[in-house]
Amino acid sequence: MKELISSKQQETMTSLDLRDLINAARVEHGESKVENGHLLKRIEDELEGELGVSKIFRHPQSGAEMRYYDLTRDQCTLVGMRESKGVRRSVLEKLKAVESVVVAAPIERSKAREVIEDGMAIAALFEVPTHYAQIETVKEARRLTGVDYSPLLLQSPAQDDVSDDDVMLEPSKLAPMLGLASGTEANRLLSAIGLQKRVKGQWEPTSKGKSLCQRHSWVKGDKSGYNFKWNLKTVKELIS
């Protein structure tokens, strides 16, 4: 995050970071992104009398200027509550995730950073796409240390403008892109076109499918495991 800091009273976040969280949630729920100016008007209406002086952020590349406010966790929550029901819940979850990074013990953050740095270095040796390496190393850091840096991925340039050739999706995310209802249906399709098969109760890529997928770690609560992400462009071509 650009301005996420710890204070003696309460963590603060810039309205620019809050905008990014809200927009990520809006995209997840099929809603259009909110512009910075519109969000500022909403913030000023919701938090009238509570705000400090607005500040200016200058983009390091383009030089474009954007006005923003520093907001407390509670203020971010109040602004997020003005979103639709689904977006509101998603924003609150993302705020909690960001807060968990801030309050994590320094030694845990240090270990998480080491895991990510080591993972990215190894990924570079094998020429793994940067956007994918970032996602996987952040997940591994969360599994090993409990520190979740996934909200920070929203700020990474490598996560923007990923070419179709590099889009890799696990079955649950692949399904809607193929007009299917669920990850189960996507797995059945991948099997039907000869890309994977069942081995001892688990899906494994076939010789045909190995070059089209990447092994993918997942973490959910206290559980973790592996599945596979598939190249969206190639799968679409195979079923067209």
Q: Where are the domains of the chain?
A: 12-103, 104-162, 164-240
What is the mean pLDDT of the segment spanning 93-122?
78
What is the structure's pLDDT at 189? 94
- Cβ contacts of residue 20 below 8 Å, gap of 6+? 154, 155
Whether pLDDT at 146 is above 50: yes
Which residue bears the tokens 């979850």?
A: 93
pTM for the complete prediction? 0.43
Which residue bears the tokens 């892109």?
A: 177
Nearest to 178 by CA among 236, 124, 136: 236
pLDDT band at 106 (very low <50, low <70, confident <90, very high): low
Q: What is the mean pLDDT of the chain?
A: 82
What is the structure's pLDDT at 3? 41
The Cα–Cα gap between 109 and 100 comes to 11
Whether pLDDT at 222 is above 80: no
